């Protein structure tokens, strides 16, 4: 019974935690914009309206001020709420979109022909011949080359005694398609997230 409940509730992935962080940031931005508008409405509209209706003595501790409305400060707080809304919409779109799967090109691998494998350069074949000359003869260390690169010397070709029939070419398999995620790791496209 526990196995079924574990299978039905998958573990949250890094993508889900990133979406939750974006949602929290979105909520904080919107809350800040709304709170700023509420404070501005209170200070610049409600308190001056109460001061005008109540009147009062300037010497009284309950005096609320002259009763002048501060329209520019109210406009600024409304503009801040609009900017917070724009940022919230952009952040919501960014958090809600799914990552694009990058499809890599598949490459076909061809086997190496036997003739190409037989044509080994003389320099690469020399240590093998020295080691196979006998167990009693120690292999002498080769001297470092005088140049960085020298072209390989052509070896005389020895014709085989009886020609072998050419091997049948293997049927090429269709290349396996490999999908990569945005980070570059291979993924299985049949798995659900």
Position 94 in a domain: yes
Strands 186-187 and 102-103, by their bridges, are: unpaired
Position 59 in a domain: yes
Structure tokens belonging to residue 27? 């909520």
Position 147 in a domain: no
Position 34 in a domain: yes
Q: Does residue 192 register a pLDDT over 50?
A: yes
Please write the tens of the pLDDT for every residue from 2-17.
555 444 444 556 567 7
Structure tokens belonging to residue 8? 């039905």
Position 163 in a domain: no
CA dihedral 89, 94, 95, 96 (to 10 degrees): 80
Q: How many domains are there within the chain?
A: 1
pTM (predicted TM-score): 0.42
∠ at Cα 36 (33, 42), nearest 5°?
145
Please write the tens of the pLDDT for every residue from 99-155.
666 676 666 666 666 555 555 555 544 454 444 444 554 555 565 555 567 677 888
Position 79 in a domain: yes
Q: What is the C-alpha to C-alpha distance for residues 188 and 177, in angstroms, rounded to an integer?
A: 10
Query: Which helix (DSSP H) or strand (DSSP E) does residue 179 occupy?
Result: strand 179-180
Domain that holds residue 68: 10-98
């Amino acid at each position: 019974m526990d196995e079924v409940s574990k299978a039905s509730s998958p573990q949250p992935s890094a993508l889900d935690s990133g979406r939750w962080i974006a949602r929290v940031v979105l909520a904080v931005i919107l809350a800040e914009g709304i709170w700023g508008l509420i404070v501005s409405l209170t200070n610049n509209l409600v308190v001056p309206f109460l001061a005008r209706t109540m009147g009062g003595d300037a010497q009284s501790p309950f005096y609320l001020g002259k009763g002048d409305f501060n329209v520019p400060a109210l406009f600024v707080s409304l503009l801040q709420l609009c900017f917070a809304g724009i940022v919230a919409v952009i952040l919501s779109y960014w958090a809600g979109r799914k990552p694009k799967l990058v499809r890599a090109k598949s490459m076909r691998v061809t086997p190496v022909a036997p003739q190409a494998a037989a044509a080994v350069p003389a320099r690469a074949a020399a240590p093998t011949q020295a080691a196979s000359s006998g167990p009693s003869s120690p292999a002498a260390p080769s001297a470092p080359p005088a140049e960085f690169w020298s072209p390989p010397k052509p070896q005389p070709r020895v014709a085989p005694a009886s020609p072998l029939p050419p091997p049948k070419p293997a049927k090429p398999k269709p290349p396996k398609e490999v999908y990569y995620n945005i980070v570059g790791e291979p993924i299985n496209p049949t798995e659900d997230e």
